[in-house]
Amino acid sequence: MEEIRMKLLGEKFPSMEVVTTHGIKRLPEDYAGKWFVLFSHPADFTPVCTTEFVEFARKANDFKELNTELIGLSVDQVFSHIKWVEWIKDNTNIAIPFPVIADDLGKVSNQLGMIHPGKGTNTVRAVFIVDDKGTIRLIMYYPQEVGRNVDEILRALKALQTADQYGVALPEKWPNNYLIKDHVIVPPSTNEASANERKEKIKSKEIEAFDWWFVHKPLK
């Protein structure tokens, strides 16, 4: 039996079969070669969750352009999910294109650490970004009373993929950082020789930097 505990960054997403509004799915196997964002919500037919679902739906194509699929989850039954998705379409004219996991027994939620007893018996607003190899890359937790910022989730996803592709780090609010704008951060020197080499390049203005340990550059 798998130990029930909070999942950690860098761990493999646990294999599981889930019931969704789009039928049975196997995670992470059905998304092999793709990234996915799994996000939980406390309950169907709640105002904050509805605003989040609408925005996730509106930005669904932006996620797809990044080879990423969206998956919702709550401890409600699939019948409730279906009726709520229908209500959203009927009342906001927004169709929900992604599957919603029905976790009425709480098995998935407990396995992923989405139920925090201090916040009640429903799932908190958890977000898991999982890469195309099934590895958990980012986790966010919001309380039930505070809605998420979908743009920030999208930004974080872009930053993760950029870091992987170019071997760089990304600053606060990238690509709109106060100090270095849309530049990316070059990994710091790991020995004296390379640090001294950077100092010389800074003096000759061959590279942009605040210091040898804080070097930045345009992405391309």
| pLDDT recorded at residue 103 | 85
Q: Is 120 helix (H, G, I), strand (E, B) or coil?
A: coil
In tens, the pLDDT along 124-171 reads: 789 999 999 999 999 999 988 899 999 999 999 999 999 999 999 999
Q: How many beta carbons lie within 10 A of that of residue 73, not counting itself?
A: 24
pLDDT at 38 over 60: yes
Q: Evaluate whether 11-148 and 167-219 have a shared fold.
A: no
Rounded to whole angstroms, the maximal C-alpha distance in the chain is: 66
The token duo for 100 is: 């919603």
Confidence of residue 1 (pLDDT cuts 50, 70, 90): very low
pLDDT at 119 over 70: no
| pLDDT recorded at residue 107 | 82
Pairing of strands 136-142, 125-130: antiparallel
Cα distances (Å, whole numbers) of residue 25 to 71, 104, 194, 204:
11, 16, 49, 57
* Strand partners for 185: 169, 216
| pLDDT recorded at residue 121 | 61
| pLDDT recorded at residue 4 | 60
Where do the domains of the chain lie? 11-148, 167-219
Residues in the annotated binding site for substrate: 125
Compute the distance between CA of residue 147 and CA of residue 48 in angstroms, rounded to an integer.
Answer: 6
The more confident residue out of 66 and 121 is: 66
| pLDDT recorded at residue 111 | 83
pLDDT at 3 over 60: no
Task: Give me the percent of the chain exceeding a pLDDT of 70.
Answer: 95
Compute the distance between CA of residue 200 and CA of residue 205 in angstroms, rounded to an integer.
Answer: 8
| pLDDT recorded at residue 114 | 77
The token duo for 87 is: 């209500």
* Residues labelled catalytic: 49
CA dihedral 17, 146, 116, 34 (to 10 degrees): 30
| pLDDT recorded at residue 209 | 95
Mean pLDDT computed over every residue of the chain: 92
* Strand partners for 23: 20
| pLDDT recorded at residue 104 | 78
pLDDT at 112 over 80: yes
CATH number of 11-148: 3.40.30.10
Continuous H helices in the chain: 47-58, 60-64, 78-92, 107-112, 150-166, 192-203
Span 167-219 CATH architecture: 2-Layer Sandwich (3.30)
The more confident residue out of 160 and 190 is: 160
> 108, 155, 160: which is closest to 131 by C-alpha?
160
Cα distances (Å, whole numbers) of residue 82 to 85, 88, 109, 165:
5, 10, 19, 38
